[in-house]
């Protein structure tokens, strides 16, 4: 290991921690009931649907020419339930409940991002 | 343009090395795709980057264009074999950026960085390139949410890959096939 290596590692570590640290402090009590969170689902960069994160179960089927993704909403969060993409990376994101968390399925160009619904209360894509 | 026999022998050796390295890189790529990193609680999308061992070793021994050929071959072949063509754009942009960064560091930063540092830089460039391509396709920066975590895993795997490259370079330098490519 040379000095340049150590410098590179420390700079990248500091930068990564600088991005991570604010999340640890703010992510304690967000999400859950009463927060009115929504999940914005985009396919190919275009908004596909906005779903309210409810306690009740909802299933969202996304079928495109690339394949299918099935999302499940429950307990104020959302998770990728099934997909026929080759790498299955999207299934690994697990159950997400906090604003700014995302689920990505690169092969199918599907992006799910949690946002707070305040300011855009007139969402009409509330799926039962 | 006719080549002298020693020139054509060198060209043949280069071709053979690229072919062997591509084969090994593809096998490593397929192997690491079978390892359930996500199941072990790691970042989705994080990879061990073992194929990078062959690419960095190739940059070390051969010319830039040879290593570039290896990168393109490896990416295309892995996509064919794993059937992941729909994500070819992302893996290609990641591996090309990683190649450029490692090539420049081997050629111009060799005094300041060891192979371990160069491998870390290559791994990080791979993650950054892939995420940038993804955020362009999605026209959204929210994917970069995972960048800090990917940077940290990239450092760890980069160190492992760097050590592997160091051992591989030492061993290969003793083989006659690689003799004439030593600096």
**First vs last C-alpha separation in chain A:** 58
Q: How confident is the model at residue A100 (pLDDT cuts 50, 70, 90)?
A: confident
How far is B63 from A88, CA to CA, in rounded Å? 36
pLDDT at B52: 93
Of the partner residues B134, B151, B155, the one whose CB lies closest to the CB of residue A104:
B134
- Residue B149, Cα to own-chain centre: how many angstroms? 20
Residue B82 with chain A: CB contacts under 8 Å: 86-87
Interatomic CA distance for residues B57 and B126, integer angstroms: 16
* Confidence at residue A27, expressed as pLDDT on a 0 to 100 scale: 54
Q: Which two tokens stand for residue A98?
A: 């906090």
* CA A41-B90-A81 angle, 5° bins: 40
Residue B55 forms part of a structural domain: yes
CB A113 within 8 A of CB A100: yes
Q: How confident is the model at residue A79 (pLDDT cuts 50, 70, 90)?
A: very high
Return the closest-CA partner of residue B71 out of B53, B47, B95: B95
| pLDDT computed for residue B59 by the predictor | 95
Find which of A18, A21, A92, A115 to mutate to test the B interface (most B CBs within 10 Å of its CB): A92
* pLDDT value, residue B39: 60
Structural domain that includes position B98: 5-175
Residue A63 corresponds to which tokens in the numbers above? Answer: 């079928």
The ipTM of this complex is: 0.80
B164 class by beta-carbon count within 10 Å (0-12 exposed, 13-18 middle, 19+ buried): buried
Contact A22/B at CB under 8 A? no
* DSSP 8-state secondary structure symbol assigned to residue B181: T
Distance CA B114, CA A11 (A): 16
Average pLDDT rounded to a whole number, residues A26-45? 74
For residue B15, being part of any structural domain is answered with yes
- Mean pLDDT score of chain A: 82
Between A and B, how many residue pairs show a Cβ–Cβ distance under 8 A? 103
The answer to whether residue B128 sits within a structural domain is yes
pLDDT value for A119? 47
For residues B72 and B25, the answer to whether their CB atoms sit within 8 Å is no
| pLDDT the model gives residue B1 | 63
Give the count of domains, chain B. Answer: 1
Instruction: Indicate if the pLDDT at residue A30 is higher than 70.
Output: no
Q: Is residue B114 part of a domain?
A: yes
Residue with the two structure tokens 């370079």: B169
pLDDT at position A7 is 93
d(CA A104, CA A96): 12
Q: Classify residue B182: in a domain, yes or no.
A: no
B105-116 as b/e: b if 16+ CB within 10 A: bbeebeeebbbb
Is the Cβ pair B146, A102 closer than 8 Å? yes
B38 vs A contacts (CB less than 8 Å): 89, 91-92
What's residue A116's pLDDT? 83
pLDDT confidence of residue B55: 96
**Subunit contact A86:B116, Cβ cutoff 8 A:** no
Query: In angstroms, how far is CA B57 from the centroid of its own chain?
Result: 9
Identify the closest residue of chain B to A115 by CA–CA distance: B142
Q: Is residue B181 part of a domain?
A: no
Per CB-CB distance under 8 Å, the chain B contacts of A2 are 112-114, 117
State whether residue A20 sits within 8 Å of chain B by CB.
Answer: yes
Kindly report the nearest CA distance between residue B56 and chain A, in angstroms.
Answer: 16
More confident residue, A122 or A69: A69
Q: How sure is the predictor about A31, in pLDDT bands with cuts at 50, 70 and 90? A: low
For residues A106 and A89, is the Cβ–Cβ distance under 8 A?
Answer: yes
Q: Is residue B183 part of a domain?
A: no
Q: How far is CA B160 from the centre of its chain?
A: 13
Most A CBs within 10 A among B36, B86, B105, B112, hence the mutation to make, goes to B86
Is B169 or A117 the better-scoring residue by pLDDT? B169
**Per residue of chain B (183 residues), what is the pLDDT tens digit?**
677 888 888 999 999 999 999 999 999 988 888 877 666 656 777 788 899 999 999 999 999 999 999 999 999 999 888 877 777 888 899 999 999 999 999 999 888 899 999 999 999 999 999 889 888 888 778 888 888 888 988 999 999 999 999 999 999 999 888 888 876
Q: Which of B142, B147, B151 lies nearest to residue A113, judging by beta carbons?
A: B142
Residues of A in contact with B149 (CB under 8 A): 16, 20
Closest residue by Cα to residue B67 from B46, B53, B81 = B53
Measured between CA atoms, the residue of chain B closest to residue A17 is B148
Q: Per the domain annotation, does B132 fall within a domain?
A: yes
| Residue A64: strand pairing partners | A67
| Phi-psi region at B80: left, alpha or beta (left = phi > 0; alpha = psi -120 to 50) | alpha
Q: Are strands A37-43 and A110-116 parallel, antiparallel or unpaired?
A: antiparallel
| Residue B115 belongs to domain with CATH number | 1.10.1760.20
CB A2 within 8 A of CB B114: yes
């Amino acid at each position: 290991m040379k000095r340049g290596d150590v410098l590179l590692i420390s700079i990248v570590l500091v930068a990564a921690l600088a991005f991570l640290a604010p999340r640890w402090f703010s992510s304690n009590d967000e999400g859950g009931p009463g927060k009115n969170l929504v999940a914005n689902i985009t396919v190919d960069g275009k908004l596909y649907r906005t779903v309210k994160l409810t306690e009740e179960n909802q299933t969202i089927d996304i079928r495109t020419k690339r394949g299918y993704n099935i999302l499940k909403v429950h307990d104020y969060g959302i998770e990728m339930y099934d997909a026929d993409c080759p790498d299955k990376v999207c299934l690994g994101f697990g159950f997400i409940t906090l604003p700014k968390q995302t689920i990505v399925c690169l092969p199918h160009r599907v992006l799910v991002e949690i946002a707070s619904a305040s300011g855009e209360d007139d969402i009409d894509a509330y799926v039962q | 343009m006719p080549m002298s026999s020693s020139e054509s022998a060198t060209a043949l050796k280069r071709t053979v090395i690229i072919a062997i390295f591509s084969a090994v890189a593809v096998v490593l790529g397929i192997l690491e795709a079978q390892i359930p990193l996500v199941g072990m609680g790691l970042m989705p999308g994080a990879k061990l980057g073992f194929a990078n061992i062959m690419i960095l070793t190739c940059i070390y021994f051969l010319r830039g264009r040879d290593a570039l050929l290896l990168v393109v071959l490896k990416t295309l072949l892995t996509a064919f074999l794993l059937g992941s063509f729909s994500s070819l754009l992302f893996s290609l942009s990641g591996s090309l950026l990683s190649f450029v960064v490692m090539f420049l560091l081997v050629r111009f930063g060799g005094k300041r960085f060891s192979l371990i540092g160069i491998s870390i830089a290559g791994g990080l460039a791979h993650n950054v390139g892939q995420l940038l391509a993804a955020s362009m396709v999605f026209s959204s920066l929210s994917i970069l949410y995972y960048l800090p975590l990917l940077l940290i895993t990239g450092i760890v795997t980069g160190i492992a890959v760097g050590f592997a490259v160091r051992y591989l370079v030492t061993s290969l330098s003793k083989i006659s096939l690689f003799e004439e490519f030593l600096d």
